[in-house]
Chains A and B, each alone.
Chain A
Amino acid sequence: MRPPDLIFLACAAILGCSRAQSKRETVLTFSGSALGAEGTLVAKQLKRFMQLNPGIRVELQRTPDDASQRHQLYVQWLNARVGNPSILQLDVVWTPEFAAAGWVLPLDRYQPQRDEFFPATVTANTWAGKLYALPWFADVGLLYRRTDLLAAEPKSLEEMVKNAQAAMSRRGGPRYGIVFQGARYEGLITGFVEYLGAFGGRIIDEKGEVVVNRPEAVRALEFMRDELYSWRVAPLDVLTWHEEEARFAFQNGNAVFMRNWPYPVAAMSDTAQSRVAGKFAVSPIPASANAPNGHSTAALGGAQLTKNNYTEFPDAAYRLIAYLTAPEQMLERAQAVGQYPTRPALYDDARLRGAIAIPLENARRAIESATPRPVTPIYTELSEILQIELHRALVRQAEPREALNSAAAKINALIERTGMRKLMQGASKT
């Protein structure tokens, strides 16, 4: 064993992973979001699972709620081949990385029903043709609009800009037309992916080629820039904004449109803290009217569950995953914390209606239009490259074409450096 592995092992042992492993009893450890209402829900569901499976004990292993911190911990543990936590909660963009590293194994031998999940959520969890994790809940980018200022949802991005300008120029109209997440972080990529789809572009195509500097992509980025500098419907402030700043602006009645995830709906519907309660609606982000291949696109977020490759109890672990991602538990999750089920069939279930705050049909349309971010083991580094170049273009340090050319060159270099070229070509044939 190499010395670094020893160190990680020691750390992992200190962190409390060595509980009762030698006994015959089947003990699973579950790690994942366990704060507040979500924590109560998880505890309840785990307890029920243990009652249904008397031979299995499930323990909760706390991990940081912050995604990148949890990622870092997982990577260190898995490098040390630690078997706990036996159930991992993966962010939507991690699955290929964990799969390619051999930290998680394909779930296909348990024959999960792929077609019962939204296709995009399955694609995001598929690497080299195999399914490595089950989608637990889905997050999608949505367009929020003020219903007191606009009659209908915009049919295209161009119409959205026009609507925004019209509403802003009305007497007493809001200060901002469109607010989104434009700071240099992962959120910027999700917004870009949506505009990219709207203009018919992609970051990486089916053949594994980097196409982020093609004309459609340049047009998408130019459109974002024009919102800021030409049409002035988006304030420059968004270039430092994350989700919450955008929510504050919209919630205080300062914006006509907002790009955000589903989570703010609840807070913004509360008259005690929101000035737009009852005055907003949510719809899918529209396509561009001037792009023949453009289609309405939502970035896909959300969480997946999978089992640790090094767990002693793979079968029991899968049973827990299957239980937590079963329709009943998903429905309960939606009712308790408002997270969107990843099973389309549930959107026909009347019980879901009160659980998610927006019309089921709109939620389903948005998830159906969802596109995973590039499904590749090197996503995190790819994303960092793109974050920097997109931000450079948006703050006008570089022209959009120049920034995207630079991004493409760097992504290609990354693919070469990591030996991903062949793998990515193979992976797309599924």
Chain B
Amino acid sequence: MRKISRLGSEARLGWALVAPALAVIALIAIFPLGWTFWESLHLHELRMPWLGKPFVGLANYAEIAQDPRFWAALGHTAFFTVVSISLELLLGLFLALAMNRVFRGRGFVRAAVLVPWAIPTVVAALLWRFIFESQGGILNALLVDAGILNQPMVWFIKASTAWVPVILADVWKTTPFVALLLLAGLQNIDLSLYEAAAVDGANAWWQLRHITLPLLKPAILVTLIFRTLDGFRVFDLIYVLTGGGPGTSTEPVALYTFNALLQNLRFGYGSALSVVIFAITFGLALFYVRGLGVRLGGDES
């Protein structure tokens, strides 16, 4: 009896101690989310007060389901996420392996590699926009001088070519971050494993496949989860580089939502879009954590 009551009071104390933290979480995470969801069940157009603010149930969600621009935007987002993350992982792994070597000036190289990551996205995007500009852009000048192009190319008027600067800019900017995460993973691998493998006559490729990659898996998964969520919410880069054009062929869901919510001030519909994006990213995170067993906590598997 005594033991149980003591446990109970300890539990109560525990709850009391975490209560402030829980309250903060409720205030800054759950409350806005709940409000957004509540908004999404209404027809609420700030620009059209004559429509009132009637409760419309799931009508906004039904509109999303039938909205080709939303589905296209979702496709663009998925495309952007998959392509840019694949490239970033490959290049990042390569960089991390190189940085893991012992060589002179390693500290300097590690710091230097991080420079693109340190530049604000909007600035980086503008930089890449200038590079790809049709008139006076550096890239066009180089390609024409080298004889690869006959005349300057207008990168931003074709969907296929408009993606090039977008993906390049993202890869350029984020690869260092990926490399750093992977480097941290690499440094956790016990060097004696490689020594043993070398004694057994395993070559470098075999060591990479059977030692490095399996042991790097947790770091890779953590990187993936960060990058997938970032990729799905991509906004500023595309906003600056293409504005979602030509037409709407590079428009990601975040840009479309911004447009509905803040340009057209369709609070109901825009909120519904926000909830959908939240659901998708939450689902992805859940998939990584549950499905692939990513450990975000400190406990070892």
Contacts and interface: CB of A to CB of B under 8 A. Distances in A.
B49 A102 contact: yes
Contacts of A76: 46
Interface in B212-259: 243-249, 259
Contacts of A97: 47
Interface stretch (B116-124, B153-161, B293-301): B153-161
B51 A397 contact: no
Interface string B172-186: 000000000000000
Interface string A270-292: 00000000000000000000000
A235 B267 CA distance: 39
B77 to A, nearest CB: 18
B265 A237 contact: no
B51 to A, nearest CB: 7
Given A79-B46, A184-B246, A377-B48, A397 B159 contact: yes
Interface in B15-54: 45-51, 53
A56 interface: no
A185 B48 CA distance: 22
B48 A101 contact: yes
Contacts of A384: 259, 263-264
Contacts of A391: 245-247
B202 interface: no
Interface in A1-42: 2, 4
A128 interface: no
A236 B162 CA distance: 14
B135 A245 contact: yes
Contacts of A245: 135
Interface string A240-274: 10000100110000000000000000000000000
B51 A419 contact: yes
Nearest to B246: A395
A81 to B, nearest CB: 10
B131 to A, nearest CB: 14
Interface string A339-382: 00000000000000000000000000000000000000110110
Nearest to B244: A184
B263 to A, nearest CB: 7
Contacts of B259: 384
A213 to B, nearest CB: 17
Contact of B246 (A79, A248, A397): A397
Contacts of B263: 68, 380, 384
B78 to A, nearest CB: 20
Contacts of A381: 264
Contacts of B48: 100-101, 377-378, 418
Contacts of B51: 418-419
Contact of A397 (B152, B156, B249): B249
A79 B53 CA distance: 12
A185 B156 CA distance: 14
B281 interface: no
B127 interface: no
Interface residues of chain A: helix, strand, loop or mixed (majority): helix
A325 B200 CA distance: 91
Nearest to A236: B154
Nearest to B264: A381
Contact of B158 (A2, A395, A398): A395
B100 interface: no
A419 B259 CA distance: 21
Interface string A386-398: 0010011001011
B247 A184 contact: yes
A184 B262 CA distance: 18
Interface string B191-216: 00000000000000000000000000
Contacts of B243: 183-185
A75 interface: yes
A239 B246 CA distance: 9
B247 A392 contact: yes
Contacts of A51: none
Contacts of A235: 154
A388 B247 contact: yes
Nearest to A102: B49
Given A72-B262, A72-B265, A236-B154, A100 B246 contact: no
A239 B157 CA distance: 7
A249 B154 CA distance: 15
Contacts of A248: 135
Contacts of A395: 157-158, 245-247
Contacts of B45: 418
B50 A419 contact: yes
Contacts of B249: 397
Contacts of B156: 239-240
B127 to A, nearest CB: 17
Interface of B: 45-51, 53, 134-135, 152, 154, 156-159, 243-249, 259, 262-265, 267
Interface of A: 2, 4, 68, 72, 75-76, 79, 97, 100-102, 183-185, 235-237, 239-240, 245, 248-249, 377-378, 380-381, 384, 388, 391-392, 395, 397-398, 418-419
20 contacts: A2-B53, A68-B263, A79-B46, A100-B50, A101-B47, A101-B50, A184-B243, A237-B152, A239-B157, A240-B134, A377-B48, A380-B263, A380-B264, A388-B247, A395-B245, A397-B159, A397-B246, A398-B247, A418-B45, A418-B48
Lowest 6 A-B CB distances belong to which pairs? A392-B247, A395-B246, A237-B134, A236-B154, A239-B157, A184-B245
